[in-house]
Amino acid sequence: VIYDFNDDDRLDLLVNNFNDDSLLMLTGNADGIFQRAATFSMGYRSAPIYLCIGDFNNDNRMDIVTANYGSDSVGILLAQDNGTFSNVTTYSMGHGCTPWSVAVRDFNNDSRLDIATANRRSGGLGIRLGHGNGTFANAMTYFTDIIIDPQSVAVGYVNNDGQLNVVMTDSSSDYVGILLGHSDGTFSDAIPCYTGTYSGPSFVSLVDLNNDSHLDLVVATTEEGFAGVFLGYGNGTFDIPQVYLTGEYSYPLAVAIGDSKHNVNGFFFE
pLDDT tens digits along 142-201: 998 888 899 999 999 999 899 999 999 998 888 999 999 998 999 998 999 999 888 889
CATH classification (class only), 51-269: mainly beta
For residue 266, what pLDDT band results from cuts at 50, 70 and 90?
very low
User: Residues 80, 46: contact at Cβ < 8 Å?
Assistant: no
Report the mean per-residue pLDDT for the chain.
92
pLDDT single digits (tens) 47-71: 999 999 999 999 999 999 999 999 9
C-alpha to C-alpha distance for 45 and 70, rounded to whole angstroms = 6
Instruction: Flag whether pLDDT at 262 surpasses 60.
Output: no
pLDDT single digits (tens) 23-52: 999 999 989 899 999 999 999 999 999 999
- Please tell me the number of Cα atoms within 13 Å of 125 on its side-chain side: 36
For residue 260, what pLDDT band results from cuts at 50, 70 and 90?
low
Percent of residues, the chain, with pLDDT higher than 90: 77
pLDDT single digits (tens) 115-132: 999 999 988 999 999 999
How distant, in Å, are the alpha carbons of 6, 57, 59, 73, 83 from that of 80?
A: 10, 11, 9, 23, 6
**Which element (helix H / strand E) includes 178?**
strand 175-181
Taking the alpha carbons at both ends of the chain, their separation in whole angstroms is 15
Mean pLDDT confidence for 246-270: 67
How distant, in Å, are the alpha carbons of 87, 178, 192, 269 from that of 236?
A: 40, 7, 10, 25
Instruction: Flag whether pLDDT at 93 surpasses 70.
Output: yes
